[in-house]
Structure 1
Amino acid sequence: MDKEIIMNMDANMLLSILNMKLRDEFNTLEDLIKSYDLDRELLTNKLSKSGYIYNVKINQFTQK
């Protein structure tokens, strides 16, 4: 995944991809962010505007 593509992606598509990656490949959001060189604040703000927050207990983005 390319950083620019991720940040310009539709929020619902991004949510689906991130949750799949978190479920299948990464133990934490921090691991995913480091792997793709993403800005955590930009990513979480983008999803927050669409009504999603990161739930560390289940390692997934969920509805607020």
Structure 2
Amino acid sequence: MEFPKDPNILFSIINMKLRDGDYESLSDLCASLGYDEQEVVSTLQKAGFEYNGDIRQFR
């Protein structure tokens, strides 16, 4: 899957896939989609979102 340029779309995709239980962690999800985990975190942090590993969700 191509890395979305819009951080809000990325936020939605990542949270949906984590919520649906397809992946056990952000690392697993990123590896499966071919995304660089640091790029995902950085992109979403710049947009004001923080990752909470306890609930496996960006907020």
Same fold (TM over 0.5): yes
The 2-side partners of 1:7 and 1:46 are apart by 10
Q: Say if 2:44 is the partner of 1:43.
A: no
Give RMSD over aligned pairs. Answer: 1.1
* Structure 1 unaligned residues grouped into runs of 5+: none
Poorly superposed stretches of 4+, deviation over 3 Å: none
| More helix, by proportion | 1
More strand by share: 1
Q: Which runs of 5+ in 2 are unaligned?
A: none
Q: Given the two structures, how large is their TM-score scaled by the length of structure 2?
A: 0.87
1:14 matches 2:10: yes
Paired residues in the alignment total 58
Q: Specify which of 26, 34, 55 is matched with residue 58 of structure 1.
A: 55
Percent identity, aligned pairs only? 43
| TM-score, normalised via structure 1 length | 0.81
